[in-house]
Amino acid sequence: MEQQTKVGKYLFLAEPFHCDFSNHLFMGHLGNHLLNAADFHANDRDFGMHYLNTIYKTWVLSRLSIEMHEMPSAYAHFYVETWVENVMRFFTHRNFKMTDSETGRVYGYGRSVWAMIDIRTRQPADILAVKDGAIATYVDTQMSCPIDTPLRVKTGKDMLLQRTIDTHYSDVDVNGHINSVKYIEHALNLWDAHWYQTHRIHRIDVAYVAESHWGDRLHLYLEQVSDEEYNICILKQSVDEELPVETCRIKIRFVNN
Amino acid sequence: MEQQTKVGKYLFLAEPFHCDFSNHLFMGHLGNHLLNAADFHANDRDFGMHYLNTIYKTWVLSRLSIEMHEMPSAYAHFYVETWVENVMRFFTHRNFKMTDSETGRVYGYGRSVWAMIDIRTRQPADILAVKDGAIATYVDTQMSCPIDTPLRVKTGKDMLLQRTIDTHYSDVDVNGHINSVKYIEHALNLWDAHWYQTHRIHRIDVAYVAESHWGDRLHLYLEQVSDEEYNICILKQSVDEELPVETCRIKIRFVNN
């Protein structure tokens, strides 16, 4: 394997059919690009899924935060740079920077927190035990990520059930879990055309609490924190379990267009 | 604009999070790649949306058929070749060929039918009147597309309502219409995990009848034609209209894994 730099830089296209009615990339598709960049970066450095699967380990996304000054428009080519900010025994922090490939203009930044688990036991695994902590040699301290660390999403008593949805074939990823970006899509679907005509998403924070599975029913609860800030709590209900269990929490901050 | 060949060839990646639980690309995402290839090919030759928007015209997808021997697996790089098979006054036929970029192995083929409309009147426009029929100079007669032409989807009296869904922000494209591939996703969501564990999609034929819009309610009707062939009819119901109207018809042929 050739020597790799600490920072990975990947080119993406804001595909026309991945853009919303305002002609800007959907936040869900941007999230997918970030997950791809993370995956490519880790695989290229031999601590990605490709290697981990051979030792019965996998990465699990715990937090994802994205803050955008501007969303790429249809047909824009943009870079996602990604790097490991730090690594501890059970968690690692990975950051993202999104820039226009032509002008270098910064669209925004992202932060994420990942855990490692043993696929057989589903228990946390020691990240630093993999290849004698080789991931630590890739920690980058030069790049800056000038956005807040993942925001805590408090679930208050004013949460109101907004929608209950069933999960289907298209929601499920290769692990049989509901795809991480599908929660974002389902959450953003809570707002109507009128809202999106006057607002765009400034920042989204997602805390992934527990995996949900194909066939689970998702209950979406919403709480308004301020005019433009909302907390969402998604509970999952399996067919074989009576009580709903929290699967993820999301905080969304909108800004006026 | 530099001289272009008749056939466009575009490289795509079967992104890991665009793959289903069997580790193969979702048909919806493949459909999206085909629409991208069509869009790139047409724009590169100056009869795409970029030019058409300047003269208040746009392409409208009327039929899409995809037949696959095999679906790309996660991380596979594959080519989509696309070319114009013929062009008439109100319709043009565009074909697709999907191959593995490393081995050249053919995954499958696609066919599509497009109309052109005037954006202001929503009425059909004369394709051959655009740039004195310049599109005709790109008609390719060398490439073969060895699959059936788009199959007629008959809607019989045995259609049964399977599911009614509301359309949301994530369903809507830049034109304010429900995205063409979302119908495919919603249709494929009618089958459960048990079915997909033993079946894969061999062929899908979609006839787009009328556009539906953000907020429309979609009624999905299903009719079983044989053990592995199904017809789906999707009706849309606008909030301001009492009677549902047909928006698209889909035929799906599965094969046993």
> Which two structure tokens, joined as six digits, stand for A118?
């043993």
Whether residues A17 and A126 share a domain: the answer is: yes
Contact B19 A174 (CB under 8 A): yes
Instruction: Work out the minimum CA distance from B191 to partner chain A, whole angstroms.
Output: 7
Q: Which of B20, B179, B181 sits opposite A169 (nearest CB)?
A: B20
pLDDT of A2 > 60? The answer is no
Q: What is the mean pLDDT of residues B57-81?
A: 97
For residue B155, tell me if it sits in a domain.
no
pLDDT band at A154 (very low <50, low <70, confident <90, very high): confident
pLDDT of residue B239: 84
For residue B144, tell me if it sits in a domain.
no
At A160-218, the pLDDT tens digits run: 999 999 999 999 999 899 999 999 999 999 999 999 999 999 999 999 999 999 999 99
pLDDT of A241 > 90? The answer is no
Whether residues B197 and B248 share a domain: the answer is: yes
Whether residues B134 and B165 share a domain: the answer is: no
pTM of the model: 0.96
Whether residues A97 and A202 share a domain: the answer is: no
- Give chain B positions within 8 Å (CB) of A20: 169, 172-174
At B4-48, the pLDDT tens digits run: 899 999 999 999 999 999 999 999 999 999 999 999 999 999 999
What ipTM was reported for this prediction?
0.94
For residue B115, tell me if it sits in a domain.
yes
> Which two structure tokens, joined as six digits, stand for B15?
């992104």
* Residues A112, A180 contacting (CB under 8 angstroms): no
> Which two structure tokens, joined as six digits, stand for A223?
């709480």
A45: helix, strand or coil = coil
pLDDT of residue A3: 66
Q: Which of B26, B32, B176 sits opposite A170 (nearest CB)?
A: B26
- Give chain A positions within 8 Å (CB) of B59: none
Residue A95's domain comprises 7-138
pLDDT of A1 > 60? The answer is no
Identify the closest residue of chain A to B183 by CA–CA distance.
A170
For residue B148, tell me if it sits in a domain.
no
Contact A15 B32 (CB under 8 A): yes
Identify the closest residue of chain B to A22 by CA–CA distance.
B174
pLDDT of residue B119: 93
Instruction: Work out the minimum CA distance from A170 to partner chain B, whole angstroms.
Output: 6
Q: B221-227: which pairs have CB atoms within 8 A and are 24 or more residues apart? A: B221/B155, B221/B159, B221/B160, B221/B161, B221/B162, B222/B159, B222/B160, B222/B162, B222/B190, B223/B155, B223/B156, B223/B158, B223/B159, B223/B160, B224/B158, B225/B251
B62–A contact, CB cutoff 8 A: no
CA angle B3, B7, B12 (to 5 degrees): 110
Closest CA to A254 of A190, A195, A208: A195
- Give chain B positions within 8 Å (CB) of A174: 16, 19-23, 74
Contact B21 A74 (CB under 8 A): no
Q: Which of B16, B49, B169 sits opposite A174 (nearest CB)?
A: B16
**Please, which residues 142-201 of chain B have a Cβ atom closer than 8 Å to chain A?**
168-170, 172-176, 179-181, 185-186, 188-189, 191-193, 196
Show the 3-state SS of A5-40: CCCEEEEEECCHHHECCCCEECHHHHHHHHHHHHHH
Which of A107, A138, A169 corresponds to the end of one domain?
Answer: A138
Contact B16 A36 (CB under 8 A): yes
pLDDT band at B3 (very low <50, low <70, confident <90, very high): low
Q: What is the mean pLDDT of residues B88-102?
A: 98
The secondary structure of residue A109, as a DSSP letter, is E
Whether residues A133 and A171 share a domain: the answer is: no
At B146-156, the pLDDT tens digits run: 999 999 888 77
Whether residues B134 and B192 share a domain: the answer is: no
- Give chain A positions within 8 Å (CB) of B35: 17
For residue A171, tell me if it sits in a domain.
yes
Determine the Cα–Cα distance for residues B121 and B116; give it in Å rounded to an integer. 12
- Give chain A positions within 8 Å (CB) of B191: 169
- Give chain B positions within 8 Å (CB) of A16: 36, 39, 49, 174
For residue B129, tell me if it sits in a domain.
yes
Whether residues A120 and A24 share a domain: the answer is: yes
Q: Indicate which CATH number applies to the domain containing A243.
A: 3.10.129.10
pLDDT band at B2 (very low <50, low <70, confident <90, very high): low
The rounded mean pLDDT for chain B is 95
* Residues B39, B173 contacting (CB under 8 angstroms): no
Which of A103, A138, A173 corresponds to the end of one domain?
Answer: A138
Whether residues A44 and A133 share a domain: the answer is: yes
Whether residues B11 and B130 share a domain: the answer is: yes
> Which two structure tokens, joined as six digits, stand for B57?
């015209």
At A166-178, the pLDDT tens digits run: 999 999 999 899 9
For residue A102, tell me if it sits in a domain.
yes
Whether residues A117 and A206 share a domain: the answer is: no
At B155-193, the pLDDT tens digits run: 778 899 999 999 999 999 998 999 999 999 999 999 999
Which bin fits B75, alpha (ψ -120 to 50), beta or left (φ > 0)?
Answer: left
Whether residues A179 and A70 share a domain: the answer is: no
Total domain count for chain B? 2
